[in-house]
Structure 1
């Protein structure tokens, strides 16, 4: 709010200054223009006075000429010729009359430039004006003029006329009057300078502005300057009106005004440049203030302590995180040197040596080093210090900038992680033991069941009649018991290796030997359930690289599951579907995306013709501990898939035709 108020006040001052300069320039131009107009008005008024003086002088010359008229023409007959000559040379005079003392006309002569000017009305209509002029002339013993009057002409127009009466003196006494009738337009046209009036307007007017006679007018609708002058004549006064078009001046009428105007414009330009520069400075200051505020906000939000020192080791800057870290205020830290207040007393010598190394100009490790700080309350905490040279805008080092990380929480998390790892390892060992026990109990069921079956058969042979005892059968049964016991040992060893995640022993094994190894066990269970076991091995199959025991367990587990999927009576024996098929063939080669060579695989399949798998069972088939058997543990198929995947293959299942399920898995060719 304060910044906005200052900015508004600054702009107000600039606006006032600009308005003052503009007003000064406007007043200067106005005064200069007014001065020029006043000068022109004064000159026009002087010209109007000059025109009036010229008309007065012309009328006076006419009086002198008229006085000489009676000198050269003493009689009425002789008067007519000189009067005609005078009218021919003075177009402003419309009529000359010689009248006696009773104002009776003795002789008269009209101007040759107008046809019968007095033909419209009788001349007697002007007698009152003539009488007034002659009365004034007799009284002043000189020429006198009557007021002007309008006289209509025969062409439908009219003219403003004025009578001048001059007493005719003979032998010292007045013997009559010479009356000259002036036309006011003629006076304006003949008694003024034509060149002087070019482009100007000249007229006689009444005092109220009514125009009596017009000689010329100002053309166009431009504004004009008007000057009036009084034409004082004996017996009458006329008002002369002179009009002149107002001169159109440039913006600056004279040199002084032009110079001041140019200087004012230059001042305006300088003010504009100054305002532009100040605006740029203000924008830069505003951006700098924003940048400083942004940096300050970032520094205040950091949890990393920042500390700056000069070349002498005195602190010049700390952020709030560092103050909170060591428990001292900014005022307590700024300007402090060595030893620092957060150094533990027993480590002061070591830290002093480190500071001496830095002050000597040697670079400290860029990745930082760990140290121990002491808070103001005496508690110790570990920190990580990362320090770099502090370079100013001229490229000169002025000190060091340090970033300090509090490692207390990190150490606590590391201890928690270490404890958690110990607990997880103990839990993993317990889980491994449980998994081993589960796998052993599951995988030993088959060889132990075989041993039990062979032992039972041996006892039956021994309990029979002595004559029927056949040593070769007894020998075969004991050999089978030994083989199954050895198989149980291999199972225990393989499962233990599997649990310990050790590399298992793999060797090239012929596919038919895998089927032969599990055939006796499958035959016993198949005979008991009334199921026929059929084996299909493609000719010329190569050996596979596998762990024999684990793969035999996979085949045996899948085969037993297949026989259990065909309970007694389902499918019926006469349908011919109570058959378990074991097959092996060369699978389509797979392409390893990570290796260029193509691998060869052997595909093993176990097909039953049982009731098939429900949809909900398919989704959970390989889930550990999921089973559909009342006595099952749910580890068989999970273990089978794990063994196959460890060999690099895949275990899948699909629906068999016309009924049942087929489990397929692949093993790499040796």
Structure 2
């Protein structure tokens, strides 16, 4: 008997190289892959079996279809041949009759005898007619063999008669026979009896030429009935179709209102020898059921699918088993790696307090090896000698389940004698049967954490000391509960421990009752967050006045997450009462400076004002003296007296208007913003400045754009700015002793829109003076800086303050012609909404001359 090794060697010698290669490849595969291939083999076999069954059914079905198609084609050709033979015989007989007519061997009476014999033997012929070349009927015999006087009459409306209408089938055939001198078959048409027919027309050619035609009309339905063999009609449906594939006649009569569906097997041949567009179609149907309707096929498919499903289920089960095995191995390796890599020490004890397991981290913490700890009972070698009793007591608490939930803080001694702080957590060790088998203890080194905690505690104390020493009030309030979480000394000094102080500073209403239905609008019930975006509140500073304390606070707020996870709001309120009072005093001083500036302006214009008032007063004196003289002399009429009085009143009104405008300009009043028109402001400013301009012989040109929006400004202050700019421009021109061509000022008011400022109205004053040096442009807004020998240096500074108080901008620039300065331009803007224009009058565009 051969040994097992001898048998393997003999088997290896009998294998071919390909088989040995396959065996080597199989041995190299893992067991899981071998199981997978072992499962895929039957699956592939079943799929190949199902494919073979489907191919067999498909092949048999195609064989049947090919046999049926050959049979249909053969029967169609047989029917074509039978009809062709019959039509050829009839055509030959008609040619003989036509020859007798042409040779005058027969007259109409004898023609009737031959035509009756011809029609009686041929049931497919409906009638035989002899027509002249003028379409006159010489004789006509119906299919029954009788003379038909009303048949083929030219004026009778018979569709079978070539009536001369070029669109009818008989007329087309008549013209073709006349031209070709050959036998012609007409296109199919419907006769008086609603029967589908076609004609064969034999031309009559004598010595004089075309003498007429001999017409035989065929019924298509009769051709199929009499000349399609009975066995062919019994096997397949045969029909005649026209050029539009409309069925003219068929061996199968459909049910009324239904159409015959096109068969799956069709064979078509032309209706020879007519060749007039008629097609003979044979139709066949499969006698066996299709592949989809085959019950045996579906049984095979169902069994194959069931087998595949079972194989797939087995494969998935094996795959899940391998996955579970792999997952279990990975989990075991993961837990072992986690235990070996974690910094937390793990220790397991049995019910007798004997150590049964320690991980590498526990050994690394204590310095003892696993062999030195496994199997040891209390006292353990890592207990400090001076803490045996304390550790024994803690161990008894652990065994009896009274260990603190937050763990116990203990001292642990390393093998080298050093001691560190640790925290131990104990939990019962339960086996798979639910029975406790010991205790599991986790230990962490908290020496560094304890040091950090002490440092944090000290840092917290320092931080609290700093906050308590701040002059600003710092408070933190819970958004959901409205609870004051923190308040420093300044807050408690001003508001006590009441959260209402926080609410007053934040501008909210935390004192609102919970039953108030409007309270839901500010807080979201689901998350407890403010309904409005927190960024809308932001950290922008706000100034809040507390009436009870009569103090102003600069309040900055932000949202933060409190130590317990609650959303809280922190406020820092700084006392700015002293600063607010200083600002109020500065505002009062600025108001006084504005009034002083206006008074100074009018003081400088005093001589011009006196000259301006002197004209109407002189005119009034002259008018009064003239009227007194003429009244004394009784040399004045009533109308002249009234005219003189009206002129006197007009001059007095003019003087009053001058005084009224000057009084409104210089009087002291609180700034009052109101809806004002740029047109009116410019008119008042130009009228006041006109006095100074005329005195200095300077012209002014004014342009105000149409449909400017309404300005929300203090008109007196804006007039003061325009007055100052116009007066400065006039002084610059006059001091430079410029010629008349350059002694003019341009005042323009136009709307503008920029990306930086948005919509605004721009007031610009342009002069043709010598301009300003660069060092003056840099310092001209400084207080008490002036280029005039008698100037106080507060005019442009006030102008800038007035414009910026209206949220506008003011700027100055020199105008250049090449490298030389040809003028100066002052411009300031007032913000407005340009989308809502003011319905004003036409643009102010005036020119004033000195």
What's the TM-score bracket when you normalise by the shorter of the two chains?
0.3 to 0.5
TM-score by length of 2: 0.29
CA radius of gyration, larger in: 1
Larger relative contact order (C-alpha < 8 A, sep ≥ 6)?
A: 1
